Amino acid sequence: MLLVLLPLLNFCFWLWNDSSKEKPTLGGTRIKTRKRNIAAPLDPAAFADAVVQIYLDNAGDLELVAKNLESSDLNFSRYGDTFFEVVFIGGRTQPGTVKLDEGERHPYSVIECEPKREAILPSVIYVQKILRRRPFLIKNLENVMRKMLQSLELFEENERIKLSIFTALAFSQKLSGLPPETVLQPLLKDNLVAKGLVLSFITDFFKEYLIDNSIDDLISILKRGKMEDDLLEFFPSTKRTPEAVSEHFTNAGLLPLVEYNDKKIFEVRLKEMKSTLTTQLAEEVAISEVIETVKQHVKDAKLPDIEVVRILWDVLMDAIQWSGKNQQQNANSALRQVKKWAELLNTFCTTGKLELELMYKVQVQCYEDAKLMKLFPEIVRSLYDQDVLAEDTILHWFQKGTNLKGRQNFVKSLEPFVKWLEEAEEEE
């Protein structure tokens, strides 16, 4: 019997001994546990109601409202858009719209103000204070302003005026980091432009902004917003003409903007004519064809005669292949060019005033370009020989010229030629 039980006892002893041994461990190894992202439930309605209540509790005193918001534990980082909806509209809006959603609202919003700067400026200053304390909210402000400007048709006319005043004051007050391109670009929606809403909004914006700022400041804003190149984009397609732009902004009392736009258009037209002439000279187009091209540009763009003369001289000199420091070769090149295109210059230098302007142009170029410094008397003599400059024009410049750039040296270098002219006149 003992012999039968002995193997069983040995097996039990082995099991007990094995279980008492220390189990192996993963020493120094950190066992990673899977984490779950537990997010707080989204509740913009409760957030909006809480902000509205702060407005109501403080009777719309924005100074007190700002202080109470600062001391609150509201989650601005999650509900930034909702916050600015309450600022502008007075309550939370329906998703994807600017229409009020269910919930509390307050009567102290931007939309509820009078459409006057003194009524809206406190809201701009209030928003500035909020942004200084919570600069991350600037993106939320961009989002809400962009949404509202893209939905101008959903606002009443006086509400659109309030939005334009707020936007102008926001840029005038240099609201922390508000970028013009992300705020103003959304205006250029085809349906808004076609209805004239954009033109009305931007006109009110211009008028308000220019109360405290210069036209240069306004142009800077438009440049940053990538909108200064063509004011025509604000106009419905049926009214997109330079004349319509001038008339509209003149009637709105925005003459500095009209002058800027006219100058911009003028510069573009000059550049276009210069580019066309440069190409024609490079392709050695016949002089008669070049003359017709200039006449057409003058007619279409209503270019002043003086500007035409200036451009012609620039184009002719730019077309020369200068030879570096070889003074004689440069002189020969310049004189050949004058002789070759004398007919072109003659066609448009039709008065003593225009001839004098051409002399001033030659004077300034010779003064500013070292390789032409000593060529002034030779160029003037060549223009005289080709009947581009009259004797009276040269004598007037010599005796009464008003441009001082290099004048003393040029007068001295031209003395022999002037003396020759005077002697020839006496002999006659």
pLDDT (tens digit, 9 = 90+) per residue, 285-304? 999 999 999 999 998 888 89
Alpha helix segments (H runs only) across 302-390: 305-318, 327-340, 342-348, 352-368, 376-385
pLDDT in tens, 149-186: 999 999 999 999 999 999 999 998 887 678 888 778 88
- The residue from 254, 283, 301 where one domain ends is 254
Do 300 and 372 lie in a common domain? yes
Distance CA 199, CA 380 (A): 52
Q: What is the mean pLDDT of the chain?
A: 86
Do 245 and 271 lie in a common domain? no
Is position 382 within any domain?
yes
Do 241 and 172 lie in a common domain? yes
* pLDDT (0 to 100) of residue 18: 52
* pLDDT (0 to 100) of residue 168: 94
Is position 18 within any domain?
no
pLDDT at 387 over 60: yes
- The residue from 236, 254, 272 where one domain ends is 254
Is position 397 within any domain?
yes
pLDDT grade for 59, boundaries at 50, 70 and 90: very high
Do 270 and 237 lie in a common domain? no
| Better-scored residue on pLDDT, 425 or 126 | 126
Tell me what the mean pLDDT of segment 276-287 comes to. 93
CATH number, domain of 349, equals 1.25.40.180
Highest mean pLDDT: which range of 7-11, 32-36, 404-408 = 404-408
pLDDT in tens, 86-111: 999 999 988 877 888 888 899 999 99
Residue 85 CB-density burial (10 A; 0-12 exposed, 13-18 middle, 19+ buried): buried
Do 270 and 209 lie in a common domain? no
- The residue from 254, 285, 311 where one domain ends is 254
Do 390 and 286 lie in a common domain? yes
Is position 210 within any domain?
yes
Is position 24 within any domain?
no
Do 228 and 296 lie in a common domain? no
Do 212 and 285 lie in a common domain? no
* pLDDT (0 to 100) of residue 173: 87
Tell me what the mean pLDDT of segment 386-411 comes to. 92
How many domains are contained in the chain? 2
User: Which residue range(s) make up the domain with 56?
Assistant: 44-254
Contacts of 354 (CB under 8 A, 6+ apart): 305, 306, 309, 348
Do 334 and 364 lie in a common domain? yes
